[in-house]
Amino acid sequence: MTTTAEIAIPQSAEDIAPSWVQQVLQKDLPGIIISDVHVKGSISEGEGFISQIVAFDADGTRNGTSQRYSLVAKLTDFERPWKVMKQWSKEAQIKMETSEVKFYSNAVPDLLSMALPSTEIKSKPGNEDDESHPPFNSLFLPKCYFAATDPSSMASVRVMENLKAQGFSIKPDLQPLSREEMMLAVGALAQVHGLSHRLELRSGVPLPEKYDWIMTPSNITALTAAGNHRYQTGVKEFAAAFPDQADLVARLEKLNLSLIHLEDPRIKVICHAECWVNNIMIKNAGDVPSEVRLVDWQMPGYRPPTYDLALLFLCATSWDVFHNHRDAILAHYHRKLQETLDPNGSSGLRSYTLEQLTADFKADCLGGVIGRFIRLVVLPADPDLLRMIQEIQEWGVI
């Protein structure tokens, strides 16, 4: 187990011991005593090929009461990514892993301070005495208890609540999100976008100056080569799936990541930048989707808010939702965004109209198409994708 100045960074599941878990939880749960840890094993690779995600339960006491905490430890795995993407670089992985660590350690407390009257985190109403669950502190991401990177090995760890234990799950077999699930997902994006915009206005400086780890067009070059190779491979797969689309394929072949990594004069926010179906966990109340959490914050970017929306539509839903329910979903996002912004403000996104949002979304669908083609290895080309791209072509974007 590699150590930092304060808490050790585990290298494998074998390092997850009661004394270590107690150290990790003490900041949020003072007085906690962990007596035993039950490691359940790694969660499937489909929920994050960059990291090893280990689920475990921790038993102990706090304030004289027995407690059980269902958690996951997200550990750096320098071998797994090479099995999925041969052009992967260790430099890119270190950048992504440390970005997520800093996102949870630095940005999340700042974002939550914009949403609450104070920085104190409160539990769900009615659950004040239920200490077996982590405090409820947002609607858009899991609670993170500890995140750190070891400076010598560059291995990272993030310890978070186990969303699966609370009834959240990723759609099986990468099934597309329904209209109702998309409403929840865009609502979560509206929250993080709106809070980050409030934070930037309050601090008075662009967020990349406050957070030098955030991914911008100028510092994302380490990921561009692998992404462009994967995109061109995706174009070939698309061409093989639709041999009668030669003209469209010729247009797609001319695209690359540099087109979406240009400096952009529009208002920017903290974006998830990887918001596709595999990074969205949904909880149902019966047969109705009721809550959503966005996971895998390894590429938080500084981009216009519609960058996330375009990727979400191209990589997470069906042609029916894209074509027939897009306007309603975008309008819902716009309402939620305005609700999150400072009610006393008048500048920035406060004056962002639904018409501007819709126009920006259509323009950013170029990036959504590129993002989908990069993922064709796990999201194969199908007739729904073809119909979405054909409609986007009609907008003059491709």
Domains of the chain: 2-163 (3.30.200.20), 167-394 (3.90.1200)
Q: Is the Cα dihedral 179, 185, 189, 192 positive or negative?
A: positive
Q: Report the pLDDT value the prediction gives residue 129, as an integer from 0 to 100.
A: 38
128 class by beta-carbon count within 10 Å (0-12 exposed, 13-18 middle, 19+ buried): exposed
Q: Report the pLDDT value the prediction gives residue 314, as an integer from 0 to 100.
A: 98
As a whole number of angstroms, the distance between CA 306 and CA 137 comes to: 25
Q: Report the pLDDT value the prediction gives residue 42, as an integer from 0 to 100.
A: 84
Name which of 177, 189, 171 is nearest 317 in CA terms.
Answer: 177
Q: What is the pLDDT of residues 7-24, one digit of tens each?
A: 989 988 899 999 999 999
As a whole number of angstroms, the distance between CA 228 and CA 259 comes to: 11
Q: How many residues does the chain have?
A: 398
As a whole number of angstroms, the distance between CA 272 and CA 309 comes to: 10
Judge whether 301 and 107 are in contact, CB under 8 Å: no
Q: Report the pLDDT value the prediction gives residue 229, as an integer from 0 to 100.
A: 86
DSSP per residue, 213-245: TSB-TTT-HHHHHHHHHHHHHHHHHHHHH-TT-
Contacts (Cβ under 8 Å, ≥6 apart) of 66: 59, 60
Q: Report the pLDDT value the prediction gives residue 132, as an integer from 0 to 100.
A: 38
As a whole number of angstroms, the distance between CA 134 and CA 145 comes to: 9
- The parts of the chain modelled with pLDDT lower than 70 are 1-5, 44-49, 80-88, 116-138, 220-223, 261-262
Beta-bridged to residue 68, according to DSSP, are: 59
Q: Report the pLDDT value the prediction gives residue 171, as an integer from 0 to 100.
A: 93
Tell me the pairing of strands 65-76 and 156-161: antiparallel
DSSP per residue, 177-205: B-HHHHHHHHHHHHHHHHHHHHHHHHH-S
Calculate Rg over the CA atoms of the chain. Answer: 21
Q: Report the pLDDT value the prediction gives residue 41, as an integer from 0 to 100.
A: 84
Using a cut of 0.75, tell me whether the model's pTM lies above it: yes
